[in-house]
Chain A
Amino acid sequence: MRNTVLSLCTQVNAARTPLPVNFMHKMPFKFFKGITPKNFRSTASLPSLVVTPSEGTPALSKLNGHKNKPEVTTMLIKRCLSFVATAAFSLSAMAWQPTGKVECIAPSDPGGGWDFTCRSAGNVLKDLDLVPGTVQTTNMAGAGGGVAFAHTISKRSEDDKLLVAASTATTTRLAQQQFPGMDASMVKWVGALGADYGVIAVGKDSRYKTLKQLMDGMKENPRSVKFAGGSARGGWDHLKVLIAAKAAGVDKLPSVPYLSYNNGGEALTQVIGGQVDAFTGDISEATGFMDSGDLRILAVLSNERLPGKFSEIPTAKEQGIDAVAPNWRGFYMPKDTSDEAQEYWTDALEKVYASDEWKAVMKKNGLIPFQPESGTFEEFINKQVADIEQLSREIGLLK
């Protein structure tokens, strides 16, 4: 039973028509308004919360600064006659196996980061035979993930073949109580599959050469540096600045000027054009202008230098500012499912993360290795939510 499970499910139409696979990069503008997918991708790790990215093979990031950031999510599939070949991997501890249709909800429109997370992780899950058949991705946009979160809690609470894509944007919104009446404990957190790290950058002609210099300027006058980012006020890009400023000892955080744009690209244009002093965003967004020489990245908010061509960029830590801000992409699942099911999916995601297929996906899409240690993901989430909540209170976003 360990290796091959042949399960016949009730419906025999083996390949049900997949949902229209809509690769359109559709993401309504409105979406960005306030609830930017970008926020989503952002992950919050407050200064205090130091997550050690697991050191995988260096993944070269190659995403030009365009806002669709991949979010990695997973999900699985559908299908009836399922041939579960848990093949080469010995899943010794696995009493539970998914049978039938496995579904991944991407809480965004097709083309968004979460959509990418579902589809790409779903493909790898399929390739590794961790799911019967394929993973069906369902798009459920709304309220920056709130619609999907509510759906999972209220309508699918016992569905153990459901994964939902999530990222720092999800925890940010949970922390800031933007999903009314819902909190992080209402779902089970499964795992993360990589991250995109925060950067703080300036135009090539800026007088600031290091993050330290910039922060020293802000210590004297918190209004002296104006930041542009692609998330709403209080969103992840804004929080990144505050995390760094707080770590550097800047007071009066609420008075740090932050200009929110619809996406990172628009914010970058203003920084390159010299209208705004500094850019806050993710490394994948900044890559294009970094390569062209228009943008000087002052610091990346990671524990250690990033791999590949990013290795030239100093971390904030090196400059004496203990700020780390990974935007993770991962998944949660419904609460009332068995522990075995959660264990299975956590384990499956770890296998995905370790696979060469996934490494190729990360490399292609500018994701950087990041995975909380096995079994600590829920803890990580709770900590992140608590930290964001505290920071949001400090800057007056939450009362």
Chain B
Amino acid sequence: MDTLQFLMDGFAVALTPTNLLFALFGAFIGTLIGALPGLGPANGVAILIPLAFTLGLPPETAMILLTSVYAGAMYGGRISSILLNIPGDEPAMMTCLDGYPMAQKGKAAEALAMSAIASFAGSLIGTIGLILLAPVLARFALTFGPAEYFALFMLAFATLGGITGKNPMKTVVAATIGIMISTVGIDIATGTQRYTFGVLKLYEGIDFILAIVGLFAISELLFFIEERAGAGRKMIKVGKLMLRPKEILAAVPTMFRGGILGFIAGVLPGAGASLGSFISYTMEKQYLGKKAHFGDGDPRGVAAPEAGNNGAASGALVPMLTLGVPGSGTTAVLLAMLISLNITPGPLMFTQNADIVWGVIAALLIGNVLLLLLNIPLVGFFVKLLSVPPMYLLPIVTMVAFVGIYSISHSAFDLYFMIAFGVAGYVLRKLEIPMVPIILGMLLGPEMEKNLGHALVISDGEWSILWASPLALGLWIVAGLGLILPYIIGPILRRRMNNAMKESPTSD
């Protein structure tokens, strides 16, 4: 079977000493980043991008590093959820519900171990799903013409806010800002300059790596300086691990269901890991009903969301790799990196850059094992690192960001741009305008414009081509639903999520 063959080749790429080392390093850093409250996977990957450039890594190594960080961050998020009752990142929110109560009962070590195993299971299920689904979808993507792509991008924008998005207007504002930034430069379809003001540096437009590092990494630094300068946090003590095989076995079906639900949520564009963990938790809660005591420190209440968010993390890679449409914020950042590496996601990547795609997939599998190994025995170490005052971490991150961006093009101009984006990111975050839609706008806006133009050229100016094929029509309908449903279901879901949070006795 071809897939198996490719996967074996992927392992050959991923198992080279350098790549293995970077996978380990990425998994470690990712866990740490995930564990630090406030630093999510998108920020984590954004912070590591400059490092990849600084070190001059070849594309497959760079992607392996970043996907390991991504997977690691999904693992790490649970640590502060359990110990501090502060989610390390958004997808780990649901883990607080049962994780923190467990920790309070003195079962922090068990909660951490259980969640690590659940993360492993979820991620494994997600990655297997990715392996099975991605090549099929990649072949299917060959049938996508400009009209279908246009509808697909509409779908991505429509579901952008996601069901958990807070303020739809702010999402729209953010996406618009992104699209506006993306129009700078020479328009590929006509050769016309737009908003370049005769500045040579602007002819190629604004590199979205600058925007990403600025918006995520630099603004994060500013936030850290504002809020968290000073000492580290107090931790709950992690006791001796007393997890019995029986308890793990009892949670296996939960992990399995969670992983699958999470994967499905991840594949849907825009939904992402938060939805994955939320769905897994609520479904599991309903499914088990009275047999469990969710919200009160049930190990399965830790297993379900962790399996869900890790499954979703792998699922979100599917549309990103096959169609070039990110399934979540972090995959948007990964997509930007791929494009910067001169690799075009889509069907062609599975044949022409097979070493990279399959190397990354194999690295996900290996990374998972590494993460499990890192997270069970070394969990105490991460807990200690959590209490390292940020004043030691920040200068390092800043330095890496500057060196990395400079090493891309040796241009100080780019550094000014990055800082400008950082300051803008700080202001926007103060205004609670989300960052991810900005990146998506920058990434997808030009693609959407291009495909609209192409569709119209092909049809000789006939607009109906946009919904002429059944596939395109189907995508439009889903996009329409994606736009309307959040208004109907969103408030219900959010109320439930809030209720769930409130029910947990120790919520912030």
Contacts and interface: CB of A to CB of B under 8 A. Distances in A.
A273 B147 CA distance: 13
Given A22-B56, A66-B352, A142-B409, A234 B191 contact: yes
A34 B198 contact: no
Interface stretch (A23-31, A302-310, A348-356): A23-31
A139 B410 contact: yes
B186 A34 contact: yes
A293 B222 CA distance: 54
B3 interface: no
Contacts of A266: 344, 346, 348
Interface stretch (B66-74, B204-212, B227-235): B204-212
A29 B340 contact: yes
Interface stretch (B121-129, B360-368, B383-391, B453-461): B453-461
A275 B342 contact: no
Contact of B460 (A24, A28, A223): A223
Given A22-B407, A142-B411, A265-B348, A110 B339 contact: no
Given A25-B59, A28-B209, A111 B186 contact: no
Nearest to B335: A29
A242 to B, nearest CB: 13
Contacts of A263: 342, 344
Interface string B396-409: 00000000000111
B201 interface: yes
B143 interface: yes
Interface string A234-269: 110000000000000000000001111111011011
B341 A143 contact: no
A27 B408 CA distance: 9
Contact of A65 (B198, B352, B450, B458): B352
A233 B53 contact: no
B410 A67 contact: no
B341 A34 contact: no
B205 A30 contact: yes
A189 to B, nearest CB: 21
Interface in A147-188: 147, 150, 176, 178-180
Contact of B352 (A64, A110, A112, A260): A64
Contacts of A112: 342
Interface residues of B, number: 55
Contacts of A34: 185-188, 191, 203-205
Contact of A288 (B53, B339, B341, B352): B352
Nearest to A180: B198
A226 B198 CA distance: 33
A195 to B, nearest CB: 21
B77 interface: no
Given A23-B56, A65-B352, A275 B146 contact: yes
Contacts of B343: 25
A274 B57 CA distance: 36
B154 interface: no
A164 to B, nearest CB: 15
A24 B59 contact: yes
A262 B344 contact: yes
Contact of B341 (A24, A33, A260, A397): A24
Nearest to A36: B188
A224 to B, nearest CB: 11
A68 interface: yes
Given A30-B206, A34-B188, A223-B460, A109 B409 contact: yes
Nearest to A235: B191
A106 B467 CA distance: 44
A150 to B, nearest CB: 6
Nearest to A148: B200
Given A139-B410, A143-B201, A24 B339 contact: no
Contacts of A140: 409-411
Most chain A beta-carbon contacts within 10 A, residue among B186, B201, B458:
B186
Contacts of B143: 273
Contacts of B189: 232-233, 260
B188 A262 contact: yes
A272 interface: yes
B412 interface: no
A257 B457 contact: yes
A27 B340 contact: yes
A33 B187 contact: yes
Contacts of B499: none
B143 to A, nearest CB: 6
Given A28-B205, A260-B450, A273-B144, 9 more contacts: A24-B58, A25-B58, A33-B187, A68-B342, A140-B411, A262-B188, A269-B348, A273-B143, A288-B351
25 contacts: A20-B54, A20-B407, A24-B57, A25-B341, A31-B204, A33-B446, A34-B205, A35-B186, A35-B203, A139-B409, A140-B410, A140-B411, A141-B204, A143-B203, A179-B200, A235-B191, A257-B458, A259-B457, A266-B346, A268-B348, A269-B348, A270-B145, A272-B142, A275-B144, A397-B191
Interface of A: 19-36, 64-68, 109-112, 138-144, 146-147, 150, 176, 178-180, 223, 226, 232-235, 257-263, 265-266, 268-270, 272-273, 275-276, 288, 292, 397
The 4 A-B pairs with the shortest beta carbon distances in the complex, nearest first, are A34-B186, A275-B145, A30-B205, A143-B203
